[in-house]
Structure 1
Amino acid sequence: MKLYSWNINGLRGTAKKGLLEWMQATPLDLLCLQETKCAPTDLPDEILHPPGFKSCFATAEKKGYSGVATYCRQPPLACDTGLGIERFDREGRVLVSDHGDFLLYNVYFPNGKASPERLAYKLDFYAAFLDHINARVKEKPIIFCGDVNTAHRAVDLARPRENEKISGFLPEERAWLDRWTAHGWVDSFRHCNPEARDAYSWWSLRSGARERNVGWRIDYFFVHQSLLPRVKAAGISPEVMGADHCPVWLELHD
């Protein structure tokens, strides 16, 4: 089973750049998209129901903002949205699909750069999310993926020293990822590729950053430690264009 996650920064725009063709040509079973910026009612049938896929959506109250979607080759047993906390759920950031032997959380974590208030909101979201998955994993193993909006270690961005005081690499943000790992949540890419360098999933649209590979690794697949025996491989696909992020992926043993 192969799972992909991709912040596409607008589903309709990325569809015009070849997303649907890429989906059909790529051997994937599950695709989690973040920052879709639309509701299902906004979409034509070819995006809502691509051949061979079942889709589920979580939509923000604010039009054209946030949002996540999961496309599945095999229909999930169930789909649900949110964390059960209204201040977070109104932004359409969490979609949960049940695939029988695991739950998949597709999450667009908040960005903290806009203001101190949004940074506080982001850290509160991290805390609420950890509490939620720690409770839920007692029922069934969990995988969560998406745009986490934080680079965990210095190796996860091209210019760590220059960004020490920038949201996305602040000590208090990175500390939350430390808490996740301390609670048994494993960064699958780093687990499978411990020596990887210059491996990024997001590049600024300014100054040719992608061409120069001046990037950040802020998109992840985390698996609960109980699922580690099923992890076969994990990686990043920087060759796939269409957005300022690229897809990341996880491959599981059956």
Structure 2
Amino acid sequence: MDIISWNVNGLNAISKKSFFESIKKMNPDILCLQETKIQDKKALEILVPLANYFIYCNSAEKKGYSGTALLCKNKPIKLTIVNEDKEGRIICAEYSNFYLVNVYVPNSGQQLERLNYRKIWDANFLSYLKTLEKTKPVIACGDFNVAHQPIDLKNDKANYNKTAGYTQIEIDGMQNLLNAGFVDSFRYFHPTKIAYTFWSYRFNARAKNIGWRIDYFLVSKSLIGDIKEIEILSDYYGSDHCPISLKIDYR
């Protein structure tokens, strides 16, 4: 099973670029999208060309903001939309041997005005994942809006405790997930590889590879042996993020 996760930074915008050609080329079994920035009805209209997928959407109450979508070739046992904060951040699909959680973690804001909210959100999300894990293993993928270690961003010292996505509170939130038994699959298989998943639109950052690794596949430890490949697909464009891919044995 090939699972692709991609923060598209606006489904409407990326659909007018090479999005559908990219999806056809990648041909994932499951596609998890974040930051769709569009209401469910409009998202379903845009995604009509992907008719070979079951499509589930979770939009924010606020228009043009946040939002997630999950597309899958095989219908899950159960699909749960989690939207308690009305920001459309979580979709959970249950399969025979794992839960797949598509997540768009809140950004702490340019002035870190949502940092305290983010701390609470991270704790609640960890609790949610651990509750799921009591039943079966979990794969959590998406934009976690945090660079966990200095290797995960280009300018670590300049950004530490100054920029959203690299404060100690956010780093601790990710570390808490790892301490609770979830594994950063990319770093597990590539402990020293420098690779990014996000580049600012400003200052020609992508061309200069001034980036951040903030998109992840976190998996329960029991699934590590089933993972065949984890990749950052930086050759795909259309967003300020690139897709990431996880190939896993599916029983």
User: Normalised by the shorter chain, which TM-score bucket?
Assistant: over 0.9
The one-letter code of the counterpart of 2:65 is: Y
Q: Among 81, 87, 91, which residue is 2:87 paired with?
A: 91
Cα distance per residue 1:130-181 (max 9 Å; x no partner)? 0111121011111001110000000000110110122211111101111111
**1:31 shift after superposition:** 0.7
C-alpha distance in 1 between matches for 2:229 and 2:245 = 8
| Bigger Cα displacement from structure 2, 173-182 vs 47-56 | 47-56
Cα distance per residue 1:5-58 (max 9 Å; x no partner)? 110011111111121222122231111000001122124645146131111111
TM-score by length of 1: 0.94
C-alpha distance in 2 between matches for 1:46 and 1:161 = 41
Match of 1:74 in 2: 74
C-alpha distance in 2 between matches for 1:80 and 1:29 = 19
Matched, 1:167 2:164: yes
Matches within 5 A, 1:49-198: 50-82=50-82, 86=84, 88=85, 90-164=86-160, 165-197=162-194
C-alpha distance in 1 between matches for 2:229 and 2:123 = 28
Match of 1:12 in 2: 12
Identity over aligned pairs, percent = 39
Cα distance per residue 1:106-153 (max 9 Å; x no partner)? 000000024444111111110000011112101111100111000000
SS at match of 2:47: helix
Could you tell me which runs of 5 or more consecutive residues in structure 2 were left unpaired when the two chains were aligned: none
- 2:38·2:64 contact (CA, 8 Å) conserved in 1? yes
Match of 1:225 in 2: 221
- 1:49·1:55 contact (CA, 8 Å) conserved in 2? no
Dislocated runs of 4+, deviation >4 Å: none
C-alpha distance in 2 between matches for 1:97 and 1:16 = 28
C-alpha distance in 2 between matches for 1:125 and 1:60 = 16
Could you tell me which runs of 5 or more consecutive residues in structure 1 were left unpaired when the two chains were aligned: none
- The alignment's C-alpha RMSD in Å is 1.4
- Matched pairs, number: 249
- 2:15·2:46 contact (CA, 8 Å) conserved in 1? no
